[in-house]
Amino acid sequence: MCGIVGYVGSDQAAPILLDGLARLEYRGYDSAGIAVVSENKELQVKKSKGRLQVLSDIINGGKSVEGVLGIGHTRWATHGEPNDVNAHPHLSQDGKIAVVHNGIIENYVELRDFLKAKGYVFQSETDTEVVTQLLSFYYAEDSDIFNAVFKVLRRIEGAYALGIICADCPDRFLAARKDAPLLVGFGEGENFIASDVTAIIKHTREVAYMEDGEVAVISAEGVSFYNIMEQPIEKEHSTIDWDVSAAEKGGYAHFMLKEIMEQPEAIRKTAFSRIRDNKVFFEDLSIGAEYIKSISKIYIVACGSSYHVGMVGKYNLERMLRKPVEVCLASEFRYCDPLVDDKSLVIVISQSGETLDTMAALREAKNLGAHILSIVNVVGSSIARESDDVIYTWAGPEIAVATTKAYSTQLVLLNMLGMYFGDILGTLSKEEYDAIMGELLLLPTKMEKMLEDIEDIKHFASDYFNHSSVFFIGRNLDYAMGLEGSLKLKEISYIHSEAYASGELKHGTISLIEKGTLVIALGTYAPLFDKAMSNVVEVQARGADVLALTTESNVSEMRKTVENVMTVPESHTIFQPSLGVVPLQLFAYYVALLRGCDIDKPRNLAKSVTVE
Ligand code: M6R
């Protein structure tokens, strides 16, 4: 999605803005631009369709743009096609004000008509230009940009993170937020804004997260914050607990590969600090034992891979808690009049903590009286802040659009939540609890071992990368894991891929299996291994080319029927998908590599989906 960065200090702004935007590239974009004010109050706007490099080449890496204050933007088109004119920043008709914007102004048509009637001529098709021209309209009243911003905020409806510069104010710029992430970074004699901390982490780890309705005035000397009533407010500063190296490739060809390899360590960080004397503790949770016992139903609400975590979680939590668990796509949940009440626990899962559909579902569930517990990676994100309880995955920054380490840490945390609740509810025997705990402690090491030897996965990828259609089949936890394996493959390699519960194949989809169709048969869920085998035979009989995945103890059995088999170490069934997903991630990665795809930034996708 769109990215924002802003800078004021004593260094040349343009190179800093370009560097910040480069660090936001992973979020997905189709055009980029910057606006810089020079000391002689000249406002320069440079923007271009396409990759950031195009813009950088036009302005010689930023060197040809003078000035120490500026804003930058990477745009992911919503209103109007990706082109130079629709790219941000947008400049007001009088050339005095430039704006970058993330989000959507819902009443932009009405405002545009109002401004057109006043003689304003619009250059772009964007909703953002309305903000720029409206600012210019109010600025003309008293030449006070601060007043103009508040007047505009009272008129616009929708979601926004805004960066605003005015040629008459070469020493400060403004920022405003509602329903779109924005933070302020504090430096020595320089200050920043960014929609995502990765843009500025190179310069500072001290930040303040802006809340809805807040406005910031940023100068090199300091930052003043105001609420929507225009009253000054104090903001708490937070320190980011990772540094710039965490958001760099560190010798790997792609962030995705780096993040796959980081999974064992990420799981250690996520899990082990919450284990004492072989028991799981979530000390910061506000829900107590009485509330946990009173829960009548658990909902897991999420999108994409986070939803797939929920699919695995349903099987595991129902087993551990003997309570009904419903997994809902956030985009559906908000419109389905959900039967949620104050006896419902709603677990919201999100890496970014900013996914708009998930956020809307959270608010819907909260209004209905549910307790909201979120599992989130990005500290201080909107979902984290609006939840009653938050458990952070502490996976560090995840840059590749295709999630891997966030998925794995979410999954481990959800299982740990099951252990924690199961212990309180008495639905997990001590023996079972200890067995699960024993495997949890071994999980990172088993994963590390798998990651040391990935030659067979590379080999299978080279066998199959030319296929145009793939089916993942599995039962129970293998089905849930297959959903994620299939999404990984399709999103980065652009191969059409579907995941099916094996038993459901014969109800329609099996008609698509013909000679040479690739079927990835998942047989890691031990209780249903025999059933998995019969489904393998079933698709082979229709000519399918099968690549199987099973555990070490079942590999010889599987090899009697299938030549190509990937293996994973044995674990407790609860954690088997945590191991099984790793070869699927790697398979997707190497297939995409062989197909020459842009692995970290797949077409049409954004890291965090902040539009509906
Ligand atoms: O940040 P979130 O976890 O809320 O994001 C949800 C999905 O957009 C995300 O998982 C998406 O499906 C990934 N591209 C999958 O790799």
Give the three-state DSSP class for 511.
helix
Is the CB–ligand 1 distance for residue 355 below 6 Å?
A: yes
Residue nearest to ligand 1 atom 8, measured at CA? 304
Quick check: CB of 585 below 6 Å from ligand 1? no
Q: Separation of 492 CA from ligand 1 center, angstroms? A: 13
Q: Where are the alpha helices (DSSP H) in 279-352?
A: 289-294, 304-321, 330-333
The reply to whether 328 belongs to the active site is no
Question: DSSP code of 275?
Answer: E
Q: What percent of the chain has pLDDT over 70?
A: 100
% of residues, the chain, pLDDT over 90: 88
The crossing angle, in degrees rounded to 10, of helices 455-464 and 576-594 is 50
Question: Which pLDDT band holds residue 85 (cuts at 50, 70, 90)?
Answer: confident
Most confidently modeled range among 23-37, 470-484, 597-611? 470-484
Whether the CB of 403 sits within 6 Å of ligand 1: yes
* pLDDT over threshold 90, residue 27: no
Report how far apart, in Å, the C-alpha atoms of 562 and of each of 108, 320, 533, 535 are. 59, 34, 9, 12
For residues 240 and 95, give the distance between their C-alpha atoms in angstroms, rounded to a whole number: 37
- Which residue's CA is the nearest one to ligand 1's atom 14? 402
> With 90 as the cut, is the pLDDT of residue 26 above it?
no
Per-residue pLDDT tens over the stretch 442-501: 999 999 999 999 999 999 999 999 999 999 999 999 999 999 999 999 999 999 999 999
Distance of CA 393 from the midpoint of ligand 1 (Å): 14
What would you report as the CA-atom Rg of the chain, rounded to the nearest whole angstrom? 26
The token duo for 354 is 């900013």
CA distances from 405 to 417, 575, 604 (A): 18, 15, 22
What is the distance in A from the centroid of ligand 1 to the CA of 490? 14
Tokens 């259609």 belong to which residue? 469
Confidence of residue 283 (pLDDT cuts 50, 70, 90): confident
Between strands 325-329 and 297-302, the pairing is parallel
Distance from residue 316's CA to the centre of ligand 1 (Å): 21
Q: Per this entry, what is the length of the chain?
A: 612
The ligand 1 atom at the shortest distance from the C-alpha of residue 383 is 4
For residue range 285-299, list pLDDT tens digits in order: 999 999 999 999 999
The residues with which 233 forms a beta bridge, in sequence order, are: 225
Q: Ligand 1 pocket test: pick from 307, 390, 403 the residue with the most ligand atoms within 8 Å of its Cβ.
A: 403
Indicate if ligand 1 lies below 6 Å from the C-beta of 381. Answer: no
Q: Is the CB of 303 under 6 A from ligand 1?
A: yes
Cis bond leading into 338, ω under 30°?
no
Centroid of ligand 1 to alpha carbon of 125 (angstroms): 29
The predicted structure's pLDDT at residue 143: 96
Say which residue the tokens 């979410």 belong to: 410
Catalytic annotation, pick one of 2, 166, 303, 328: 2
pLDDT score, position 470: 97
Whether residue 34 has pLDDT greater than 90: yes
HSE on the CB side for 568, CA within 13 Å? 29
Give the residue from 468, 463, 511, 514 showing the smallest Cα distance to 489: 468
Return the residue whose CA atom lies nearest to atom 4 of ligand 1.
Answer: 350
Q: 225: CA distance to ligand 1 center in Å?
A: 32
| Catalytic annotation, pick one of 46, 96, 601, 607 | 607
Residue ID of nearest Cα to ligand 1 atom 9? 304
609 lines ligand 1 (CB under 6 A): yes
Instruction: Spell out where 438-517 has E strands.
Output: 469-474, 496-501
CA–centroid distance, residue 223 to ligand 1 (Å): 33
- For residue 304, give the ligand 1 atom closest to its CA: 12
Return d(Cα 185, Cα 206) in angstroms, integer.
6
Cβ neighbours, 10 Å, residue 485: 27
> 324 falls in which pLDDT band (50, 70, 90)?
very high
Q: Which of 33-42, 211-220, 375-384, 600-609 is predicted least confidently?
A: 600-609
Q: Hey, how many other C-beta atoms are within 10 angstroms of the C-beta on 233?
A: 12
Q: Is 169 a catalytic residue?
A: no
Given a cut of 80, is residue 232 above it in pLDDT? Answer: yes
Residue 423 has pLDDT above 90, yes or no: yes
